[in-house]
Structure 1
């Protein structure tokens, strides 16, 4: 991990990210747009904006969107898409939650499993604190995270085949570090032309741990759901959590 940084995942995955993670953003956009309508007036900030999968359609709803991302390559892919060049993006570590302005935000959000790309508990706590600091009173911090499924790992490792074709195989290989709460993974694409590696390292946190980070940052829990459609959270799969900055500080 000595050569791994905040920008590593994006720089090595930007050209295949949309193809390998083809996820319909419709439900996420509807959920987030409803929160914006209910909350205080102000701009919205996405952490790890990536290729704009959620940000571009959300901005098309008339919402004032800003973004932060550590990877210039990912942002370049976003800016090449229709509407992507109109969204201001600051290149930086999402743990710092620094959009390069003095604005305060009605909502800060991070989707998919990206929050877990912060590789230490300290970085994750700092992200919560900085997000809370940049929120308006009544503003929301929204996270989509996967529930850690450590039972999938045999002797703390796993290999999974995603595609098998006549001329290619795409795998993921992962080692689990239960002490550091880390998944150290590689996307592996094997073709007749050679082998491509794209690392994906993350530090997972349990839902209760996220709640504690929120409390330390002065945020209150609004709710947790099993998806963007408001499904009940059953402790499996991806889930959505909403925290709120109190309108008045706690005494």
Structure 2
């Protein structure tokens, strides 16, 4: 389900409508919009909670944006901008789909998002607590975002439990299946990347030449399994039939959203199935 939900959420990062909406409230520059929009559900926070919650960004990179970004736009303004931009992006991508299709998808995904367990899920809980959106595309995007951040919170917990720090996590992903250029923008230095790869070699996850080992793959699969388990409650609540129906409804929406997401992207979204 992540592969169907993530593209809907991700228009906020990649669509020109979303960038324009952030710029309209004074958030010029990609990273100002990113950090303000994603952190806005938490209120006018300092950098430290966002470093913890976002996990894979270097602290100094977050500190360049927060808290100074709140002098450009309040959290409330950032929230309105991100929803406006996302809805405009979705409207542009899905205008050929019947209104009934979008409304049913919004109702089903909102039911799933309403079942997220908030305990220990900082970003998921903050998004789930936002006032419900009125229009179908707004409900669709907001629910997708709640589910996405809820899953992300669980993934961070699994990474921490596995003893992985942020740059080790990035170095592992690059070693497995992602071009390094996709993740170099997270603010870590080459020395930090080098040291992280060395620690992965020491723990037996990578060979000396940087190739993933069977031990490393098995250990990280445990992280993925724990992430899936922690994200299961919304889908259990929706049930097999409801989940299958939502997947069917999201498929053409996600396919259209993927057209603005680069094939090599930093969120790890795999290429769509032909």
- TM score, norm. by length of structure 2: 0.29
Structure number with greater CO (CA < 8 Å, separation at least 6) is 2
Higher helix share: 2
